[in-house]
C-alpha cells in the first residue's frame, strides 16, 4: 500500500494543521517543523479496502507515555473488518504540536480537538455519522469527555485502563501507592528536571511494572519511545496531562451533576491482570446508563500491545452491536 500525506487547515479559535497518513505496515512517520503560532495534529487515517463493506468509523485515542504508535497492531485488523480507523497523536504527543498552557491539556479541551479533527475529515458532518470512540489510559479520560460532551457524535465508547476524574472511584484510588506517579507528575518543574536524560529508564519502569507480558517491550519499541519523549517539550506536555487532573475532576463532577449519566453505550475495557480492573465497573456505572465490562485476557495495563488479537476481538464484538 502506498503512503499518502495531505494537509488540512482549521481556521477558528485556533489554527490547526493536520497531517494524514494512509496506513501501511511499512509506514515511515514524519512531520514538518512546528511554528509557534500553530497547533498541528498528526494522525493516521486508515480506510477499509474498497471491496470491504463499510461498517463505520473508529477513533482511537492513545495514552501516556505512548502515542498513536500504540495502536500499530490493531489498526489494520480493525480496518480489515470494514471500519475506517483514525488514530491521532493528541496535542503534546508524538508528532503533534507541544503548546504551553495547562487548560489545553484538560481532557475536555483535547476532546474538542478530536471533534475539530473529525469535522476536518468530514466525519460526523451534519450528524450523518457517529463514531466509535476507544481510549486507553489517559486516552480513556479523553474518550469519556468526548462521549459525554458530544453524545450526538458518539455511537459507543470504550474506556480502557483509566481511573476517571470526577468519580468516587477515582477519589478512592488516586492516592494508592501503585499510583504514586499521579502526585509526582503534578509537581511543578521538578519531574522534568529529574527525568531529563533518563527518559528511557523512567518510562521503562512503567512499561514493565504495569505489564503482564514484559517481552512486548522490545529494544525497538523502547528506542521509539525514548526518541519520542526526548523531544523538546514532550515530557512537559505529558506531565501537564496530570497537572490538569484537578480541572478534569471538577469539570467532570460538575458535568455529571448538571446533566446526569451519559446515555451513550459504554464499555469498560481492562486487562484481566490489571490492578485497575477493580475500579473499572464501579466508575463506569457512575458515569453511564448502559455499561458493559470486558477484559483482555492475559493482559496487564497495555492491552493493545500485550494481547492485540483478543483486544481486536473484544472491540469488534462490542461495537458490532452499536
CATH of the domain at 249: 3.40.50.1820
Which residues, in sequence order, are CB contacts of 53 under 8 Å at separation 6+?
A: 82
Q: What is the pTM of this model?
A: 0.90
Side by side, the strands of the sheet bearing 5-11 are 5-11, 15-22, 39-46, 83-89, 56-61, 131-136, 154-160, 266-271, 291-296
Number of structural domains, the chain?
1
> Residue 49's pLDDT is what?
87
Alpha helices (runs of H) in 44-137, residue ranges in sequence order:
75-80, 107-120
Query: CA-CA distance, 134 to 157, in Å (whole number)?
Result: 6
Peptide bond into 41 cis (omega under 30): no
In this structure, how many other beta carbons lie within 10 angstroms of the beta carbon of residue 44? 23
CA distance 183 to 175: 8
Compute the C-alpha angle 217/196/226, nearest 5°.
25
Residues of the chain with pLDDT under 50: 1-35
**φ, ψ for residue 257 (rounded to 5)?**
-60, -40
Q: What is the largest CA-CA distance in the chain?
A: 53
CB atoms within 10 A of CB 69: 18
Q: What is the domain range of residue 107?
A: 5-319
Amino acid at each position: 500500500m502506498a503512503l499518502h500525506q495531505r494537509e488540512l487547515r482549521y481556521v477558528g479559535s485556533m489554527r490547526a494543521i493536520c497531517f494524514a497518513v494512509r496506513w501501511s505496515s511499512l509506514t515511515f512517520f514524519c512531520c514538518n517543523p512546528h511554528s509557534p503560532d500553530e497547533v498541528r495534529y498528526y494522525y493516521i487515517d486508515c480506510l477499509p479496502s474498497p471491496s470491504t463493506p463499510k461498517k463505520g468509523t473508529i477513533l482511537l485515542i492513545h495514552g501516556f507515555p505512548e502515542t498513536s504508535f500504540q495502536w500499530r497492531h490493531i489498526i489494520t485488523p480493525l480496518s480489515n473488518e470494514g471500519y475506517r480507523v483514525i488514530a491521532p497523536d493528541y496535542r503534546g504527543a508524538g508528532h503533534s504540536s507541544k503548546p504551553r498552557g495547562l487548560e489545553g491539556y484538560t481532557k475536555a479541551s483535547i476532546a474538542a480537538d478530536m471533534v475539530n479533527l473529525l469535522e476536518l475529515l468530514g466525519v460526523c458532518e451534519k450528524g450523518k455519522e457517529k463514531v466509535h470512540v476507544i481510549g486507553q489510559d489517559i486516552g480513556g479520560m479523553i474518550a469519556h469527555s468526548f462521549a459525554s460532551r458530544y453524545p450526538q457524535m458518539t455511537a459507543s465508547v470504550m474506556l480502557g485502563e483509566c481511573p476517571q476524574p470526577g468519580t468516587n472511584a477515582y477519589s478512592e484510588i488516586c492516592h494508592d501507592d501503585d499510583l504514586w506517579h499521579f502526585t509526582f507528575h503534578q509537581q511543578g518543574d521538578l519531574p522534568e528536571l529529574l527525568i531529563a536524560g533518563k527518559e528511557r529508564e523512567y518510562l521503562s519502569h512503567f512499561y514493565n511494572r504495569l505489564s503482564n507480558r514484559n517481552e512486548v517491550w522490545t529494544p525497538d519499541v523502547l528506542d521509539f519511545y525514548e526518541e519520542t519523549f526526548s523531544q523538546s517539550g514532550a515530557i512537559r506536555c505529558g506531565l501537564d496531562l496530570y497537572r490538569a487532573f484537578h480541572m478534569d475532576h471538577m469539570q467532570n463532577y460538575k458535568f455529571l451533576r448538571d446533566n446526569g449519566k451519559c446515555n451513550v453505550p459504554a464499555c469498560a475495557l481492562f486487562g484481566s491482570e490489571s490492578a485497575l480492573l477493580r475500579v473499572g465497573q464501579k466508575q463506569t456505572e457512575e458515569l453511564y446508563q448502559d455499561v458493559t465490562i470486558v477484559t483482555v485476557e492475559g493482559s496487564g495495563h497495555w492491552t493493545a500491545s500485550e494481547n492485540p488479537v483478543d483486544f481486536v476481538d473484544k472491540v469488534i464484538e462490542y461495537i458490532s452491536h452499536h
